Amino acid sequence: MNNFTFWSPTKFVFGKDTETRTGELVKEFSGKKVLIVYGGGSVVRSGLLERVKKSLDEQGMNHIELSGIKPNPTDDRVYEGIELARNEGIDFILAVGGGSVIDTAKGIACGVLYDGDFWDFYCGKKIVEKALPVGVVLTIPAAGSEGSGNSVITKLDGLVKLSLRTESALRPKFAVMNPELTFTLPPYQTACGIVDMMAHIIERYFSTTPECEITDRVSEGVLKAIMAEAPKVMESPCDYDARANIMWSGTLAHNGVCGTGRVEDWASHFIEHELSALYDVAHGAGLAVTVPAWMTYVAAINPSKGAQFAERVLGIERCAGDSDHDMALKGIACLKDFFRSIGMPVTMEELGIKNADIDALVKNLHLHKGELIGGYVKLSAADTKKIYQLMA
Ligand code: NZQ
Ligand code: ZN
């Protein structure tokens, strides 16, 4: 196991009616004038926004709004939010929504206190040293942004989707997580979230660092719980306990605990981010296509972790004569069946992308992420081209 620092200071307030505590939590973290960021209207329709505003009013807090953040959020809304926050003297950013809203809130939070272009942080020119505090009321378990220091934004000029990773500066101060808020999620979004959280663990599980038994076992446990709870939420969207288990899994999948002490991979995410940048598909659905193709490709080079995944996570028994490669392939078939069972695509065509421009995807990928990507197997442009071909 490698040395590591695990820093996860977010205060998670989990359970029924917890959104009524939002005002109290903003106050605890010294917010006085709040910018509420939200998406295309689900929080208005559900009445959540009104309840959050009431909770802020009860604490005597001023608040203004930035609405209409779209999935795969773009830099134009971040610039708009930075200007608004500066003009209005905002000292706290409150994201009410999912990953797209939270990531926009984080972009605004670091941009407001920086003299230059906030994009400098995303393209790696500058490191975030300070940011306004961010709080979250989560409405979709998926991206894990409520417990991560990361933010993913697409620059409209050139459709460049980049992730900014910070150790602590952009970790939310608090995350309100009421599973009831997820009852209104459409099945497709629920399933996208399930795939995304599984992918966040798989990116960390496929590691060449030896002797990480505890991190492996934590990862396997969370993956098994997700796969057991997933059919329940798909079948009964208002099953509180199933929604609660899925919601907390989404946070554990991405707050860093499943990666402690080892080198992580992240090739599948980089490969997918090019897809969602170019074709504006839902990130989780893109991953349902990417992850099995990536697993298939790396199984031919290093099948050991794929075999362990098949045995320990999916419960596939090794038959006499089965090699690690055989086991890995059986696992991949089983994972694809699972994704299909919750209504996810497993090919680009099923995702709605016909005749994808694979050369452009590969070119952008290595332009943005370097010559070689991935921690488990280092992939060149020739390798990633074959992975995109497997996805077709
Ligand atoms: O905009 P509204 O009307 O709110 O609708 C949203 C949106 O259309 C809807 N929704 C959310 N909660 C709902 C709901 N509909 C009904 N009831 C509710 N309770 O769901 C749709 C998707 O929302 P979005 O925020 O885009 O979903 P998600 O949380 O999956 O976020 C995806 C974004 O996060 C990035 C992805 O790349 C993508 O841009 N990621 C961020 C990460 C991070 N910051 O750490 C890591 C991830 O790997 C990921 O890359
Ligand atoms: Zn993801």
Note the pLDDT of residue 381: 98
The number of the ligand nearest the C-alpha atom of 72 reads 1
Nearest atom, ligand 1, residue 144 CA: 45
- Terminal C-alpha separation, the chain: 37
- Residue 215 CB less than 6 A away from ligand 1: no
Instruction: Label the pairing between strands 160-165 and 150-155.
Output: antiparallel
Note the pLDDT of residue 45: 97
The region, left, alpha or beta by phi > 0 then psi within -120 to 50, assigned to residue 93 is beta
Note the pLDDT of residue 281: 97
- Residue 72 CB less than 6 A away from ligand 1: yes
Q: How far is CA 121 from CA 151, 217, 320, in A?
A: 10, 34, 52
Shortest-distance Cα residue to atom 38 of ligand 1: 72
The region, left, alpha or beta by phi > 0 then psi within -120 to 50, assigned to residue 17 is left
Note the pLDDT of residue 108: 98
Q: Which residues pair with 162 in a beta bridge?
A: 153
Q: How far is CA 168 from CA 113, 115, 149, 212, 326, in A?
A: 16, 20, 6, 24, 41
The CA 182 to ligand 1 mean position distance, Å, reads 12
The CA 218 to ligand 1 mean position distance, Å, reads 25
Q: How far apart are CA 89 and CA 32, in angstroms?
A: 10
Tens-digit pLDDT profile for residues 154-193? 999 999 999 999 988 999 999 999 999 999 999 999 999 9
Instruction: Label the pairing between strands 134-138 and 62-66.
Output: unpaired
Nearest atom, ligand 1, residue 284 CA: 30
Q: Which residues pair with 379 in a beta bridge?
A: 373
- Residue 184 CB less than 6 A away from ligand 1: yes
Mean pLDDT score of the chain:
97
Name the DSSP class of 373. B
Percent of the chain with pLDDT over 70: 100
The CA 204 to ligand 2 mean position distance, Å, reads 12
Tens-digit pLDDT profile for residues 77-88? 999 999 999 999
Residue 62 CA from chain centroid, whole number: 30
The CA 375 to ligand 2 mean position distance, Å, reads 16
Element (DSSP H or E) covering residue 53: helix 48-58
Number of other residues whose CB lies within 10 A of the CB of residue 241: 11
Could you tell me if 126 and 116 are in contact, meaning their C-beta atoms sit under 8 angstroms apart? yes
What mean pLDDT do residues 194-206 have? Answer: 98
Q: In testing the pocket of ligand 1, which one of 70, 72, 100 has its CB within 8 Å of the most ligand atoms?
A: 100
Candidates 121, 178, 113, 206; CA nearest to 155 is: 121
Note the pLDDT of residue 126: 97
Shortest-distance Cα residue to atom 39 of ligand 1: 72
The CA 115 to ligand 2 mean position distance, Å, reads 30
Structure tokens at 224: 């098994």
Shortest-distance Cα residue to atom 20 of ligand 1: 189
- Residue 314 CB less than 6 A away from ligand 1: no
Vertex 134: Cα angle to 219 and 248 (nearest 5): 25
Instruction: Label the pairing between strands 11-14 and 33-38.
Output: unpaired
Candidates 77, 212, 233; CA nearest to 155 is: 77
The CA 199 to ligand 2 mean position distance, Å, reads 6
Whole-structure pTM over 0.75, yes or no? yes
Tens-digit pLDDT profile for residues 8-40? 999 999 999 999 999 999 999 999 999 999 999
Name the DSSP class of 17. T
Q: In testing the pocket of ligand 1, which one of 48, 51, 103, 122 has its CB within 8 Å of the most ligand atoms?
A: 103
The sign of the torsion formed by the CA atoms of 343, 349, 354, 359 equals positive
Nearest atom, ligand 1, residue 106 CA: 44
Under 8 Å CB-to-CB from 236, ≥6 apart: which residues? 242
The CA 143 to ligand 1 mean position distance, Å, reads 7
